[in-house]
Structure 1
Amino acid sequence: MLSLNNEVKDIHLLFSILYLFQGKLDLAYSASQQYLKIESNDPGGYLLLGMITFFQGKTEDAIWALKRSTSLDLKGQVSILDYCFLGAIYSILGEFKEAIKTLKKAIHLYPNLAIPHMELAKVYHMTHNYTKAIKEYREALKIDKNFTEAYIQIARVYFDKGELDKSRKIIEGIKKEEAPYAIQSLTLLGRISEKEGELKKAETYFKRAIELYPKEPRSYMELIYFYIRNQKIEEAEKIYKKMIDLIPEATNFFNFLMNEDLYYNLVDLQLKFHNYKEAEKTCKSILNFSPDIRFKLELARAYCLQGKLTEAEAIYKSIVQHEKSPLGVRIVAVFHCLGDIYFKLGRIKDALTYYDKVLQMTKDETQIKEIHYSLGLLYHSQRRFDKAMAEYKLALFKPKKDTRKNYRLNIISAATYLYLGFLYLDQKEPKKAIEVCKEAIPIWQEVFLKLLDKREINQQIEETRKKIKQKPEEASGYYKLAGLYVLKEIKLEDAKVLLEKAESLEHHPEHFILMALIDKKLGRIEEIPNDLVKLLTKSNVSTNEFFSKSLLD
């Protein structure tokens, strides 16, 4: 009888594993439950249950099962997987303290294994604790001096710290026979060169990765982002189209696990290239078998960009209400997004509640300035001018010099001056409106126009004209062409016409600032308030729509 029970038990375990590999999670769950009825104290059975429930999206059940597994395996005799998997779940959820605690326990139980040191180092790296991250990677190398991934990750940490020479030295000393390591090494060398301002050299490294591994989508990814960072959007889109067919469909969680980084970058690129429906589709596909919060946040972002605000709200509220973890810094971003959504929906009290939560929780200068700016817009839309003025003034600061590093802060500064100008216009004070709008002009010129590659202005003008012919319904083409004319200081009157066309297609405050900059170059400072009123009238949107569509969208 005992022999029969053992055979039945083993069959349940075998089927549970088989179904798990096939992606049949409900059947895998049922078989694992049958197994645990017979073998209730097997840590391996609870490890299996933890994996199944995690991929079913039952995060709390997965944590319970994995904790049960580790509690039954106090001497570390079964597997390190339960600790590493539990640590990974905590990291995904943003519970970094719990992740560190779990992985330190794994190191204590398995002192001769490099893996727990690697996993702990990743958590430290994610939380920007670079010194501890390097220490743990080096501990992994003491155990296995040929652990190539550890060398690459140390180089990444040094890169993130800004110690480029140390990063390059490590990368150049790595053996790169295997594709993943060769690609990572080449792309990191490219990033280092880019950071040093050697753009041609950087581009060569990124292209070399593609030449060596043309069927590996990761080879293409860094070149795409390189072009995006350097305002070469059309080149980025061309490479993206070549890469897209190389990414396997996310049909099951094993497929997803092998390509998790690819899928996250894919969604990010889909959003950057305005393929919002495709991004929505990708996120939904992945969330069918993984509860990874990053994809929940990206799905909400895709909804927002499509104007599906109630759908985005539902996801953010679900994250706030149902995720036990504090989500680290992500919860601040979630509250901020909820505030913006409620503002756009006209639910002013709810918007104020969430903006206030962000101010209570964050110490980040950019977030604080951005919230005061948003509050200024909110009160302005409600015609509560005194409160709007107070919030705008809290958002003001001296613009930063490094436009790439402080891009967001400088945008807030320019936007705040612009909306202060609108506020003075509303209060029938055009002279003050002129003065504050004049403050926005040089900041905007630094922030936006200098990000364009001056060496290729003529080429960009031709490309933008072609884009307008291909997609005459898109406001962005008219806006960019106007900006290029201003940068080259040609056809300024034509640039004003282009901006009016852009504003008639889609309202955006950027149009107003560029119009003001044109007037400055034409020596018509006194025309700025008139242009603002003219464009505002032409945009044909309600007050709340106008102010909720802020410059930071």
Structure 2
Amino acid sequence: MKKLISIVILIFIVLSCSDKKKELVQDNKTKNLPINSVIEIKKETISKGNQLFLDGKYQEALRFYEKGVKENRSVAYYNIGVSYYLLGDLEESEKYFKLAIDDDKNFKEAYINLVAVLIQENKVDEAEKYIQFLEGYKDLKTYINLANLYLKKGSTAKSYYYFQKAMEIDEKNEFVRASYGNFLISIEEVDKGIEILSKIKKKGYDEYYNLAKAYFYKKDYRKSIDNVKKAIDLKKTEQALKLLAENYNKIQDYILEATVLSQLIEISNKPEFRYRYALALYKSGDFSKAKEVVTALINEFPNESRYYKLKYDILINERKYNEALQVVKNAYTNLKSSFFRYLYIRHLLLYFDNVKKAYQLIKNVKEEDDYILLSKAIYYAKIGKFQIANNYLSNISNKGSDYYLLVSYILLKQRDYKRALENIEKISRYENRYYLYKFIALWNLGYFDALLTLSKERLNYLKYNRELPKVSFKLKSSIYDIGFFYRYDGKFEDILRLFLFPLVIDPNESIEFLTLGYKLLQDNENLKAIIELKKSANFNNGIMYNNKGVDYFLNGDFYKAINYFQKAAKYLKNNPFVTYNLGIGYLALGDLKKAYYYFDNSLLNNRFILYSYLGKAVVFYLRGEATRIISQYDLVINNYDEAVNSVNYPHIFLLAKYFAMIGLGKYDDVIFEISNSKSEFNYELFVGKLAQFMKEGQVGVFDKDEFSVIYHFECFDELLRKDFSLTGDRVCKNYKLYSNLYLSKRNMYNFSNKMDKYELAQYIMYNLAINQLDNVLKGLKILSRKDFRYSKLYEISLYYFLLKKDFVNAEASYTALEKLKFKNLFTQYYRMLYFLLNYNEKRLIKEINSFIKEYPVDYRGLMVDTLLSFKNNNLKKVLDDLISMKNIEPKINEKVNLEILIDDI
């Protein structure tokens, strides 16, 4: 009995001593951590350990604490637990805090630290068992640990209660504020949490990690990466590396994602991390390494379906279709899943066209799960039975990427591009057909801005784009594809042509001007000829015929005008005025070849006939030779400036200078010069208004009464007002017919055998533009009887046969143009189309290069090159071509006439 009493007294003494408050070593390391620091006692070995601890030498401190067990077991164990915690070994830390408690049941600091460790180890139920030992303790770390415990248990209200208790003790304490900020982020009060944590001066691992997590929630991945890297610098943990990898995944930096996942695998070699590593390698384009990792996973876990699927995807992108077939066949054999049956069937159909084998795999299957329905749908889509395919698709409940791929394919085949586009958006971005199908839909809808965006984005997926599209092309008739003699698109050269008038020869005014030309361009011997020319009686007869031709021209009788100009030419040998007049006569008829010949001839005889430069500019415009137009305007201005300083230059030639300045875009210069001119000449005032119109595009700047005397003004005014009544001369009527066509008012365009070949060709082209192909054929037959050597006959027929996809007759037209040695922008363009539609890659490349070299600022060569690049899956070239096309022709969406047809899934 006495012995029992002694034991009880001894226990009481021990408990009394243990309950005394222990002295904590003050250190900065644990200050902002949920655990308490090491204990200071007056024992030599433990004190030496504490000194090393304060110096951050935790491993060395451990050796002294282990020896100090003999001095004080509970304190030594406790200090060992703190040291292991700071070394990142939570398991050992937990073990020693428990040993400390076993030795001293009232060791408050050990309970606090043990709860903190268990919470971090996610052993929340075990941690909760120790709460009873913390009751009554009212300090910061106790409250914080209780708050964190209840937060992990999902009891937000209790957690909030304990955080408030901690805040009541010291709301300015950085540890308290940091813990509260972490709490707010955990309960998705993200902005408040970020605000608190951002103000913490000395952030630890938890603060950086929680900030990173908060920014991840907000999808601010760059800031999340910045903070999680700082957390990892302090402590490399599994959760921090996982978060960093997830961030890189979100910003699609798969190379860095793979790098982080490889570090994560070193810490924890989980199959999940290895799979994600293989997936990141695949997405980064490192197919070889990805295949190595996923093959090892398949060998270890032969029943995990997603490993087979990833290996299959890798092999598809390597275009190793036989190996991919073996993988999917093995997966189907091993797993017997309907998914792999579907993938097997899909592979047979897409990469081997093995319809028979695919059918054998589905013909006796009676179950109707989603993948079996998908298998049947893809089979019937492949053989072109779209209604049956749609019936199977309509019964699928879980609509994944492959479902939308099939729906998109069928809609593309049915040329329902808008609905196809809606479904394409739901296809996986890593499916090659997402890009191919979307490109086809956007191109055919004319959404070129979206095409540019798609092509730029797709460059990030270059290594996934190895499969060539199965496409062909269809030509649609378009007014932009046809070499009309009369165009009116509102461009300056259209307007300029309308106001090019014939030149009257005034003997008193023109002789000095003619003499100037001969003086500057010919030798002294020829000056004698000029003197003789002045004396010649023929000169007056020539002037009479020329001026009579001018009268017929102004009244719209171009044939009679040309007849009189030719008579004048017989009297006035090589007279530049007359040859210019012949040029605009043939231009009015639509004979560009003769028009150019006479304009050029007039300048060979006298380079000061400025209107001939303007005539050549119009011809270049109609022939599509845009790069040559500007030089003609420059020549007008340069020669005008040289001439006016030498002789009394005809005032009417000042208008040519103004026209040239407008052509060069010098609108303000023209407006300024004319506004400061004292001339009341109607033409001069009109050109000033024209410059203003071209600058501002305002229709209401012309006074009809003031300018009614201007040649072709009435026609110009009607065109501006969209009055297309067929009044006026041949040029005016055809301008109106073209404008009517341009505005899609597609009336029938009737022609007759009485029309001359130029007019007949124009009317055939009108019918061609509206796809009235029967009318076109009738017209071509009439035109061939009129002049079977007429180059326009074969130019038009080549386009006609391309629309009909009659490549035999297209070849005949092509050959005829070669024999006639005739080519212009349109014939060169049709040659490209011929080799694109009747696909011949080698000859097509040659024609594209030739076209782009000859017509560098025309969109057509780039358009065909884009389609060739798309067919060859040359993504970089596609993007370059699209950018160039958009720069050259801002309204490219209105002008593309080639449709991409999908030929197979």
Which TM-score applies when normalising by structure 1?
Answer: 0.44
TM-score by length of 2: 0.29
Higher helix share: 1
**Bigger Rg over Cα:** 2
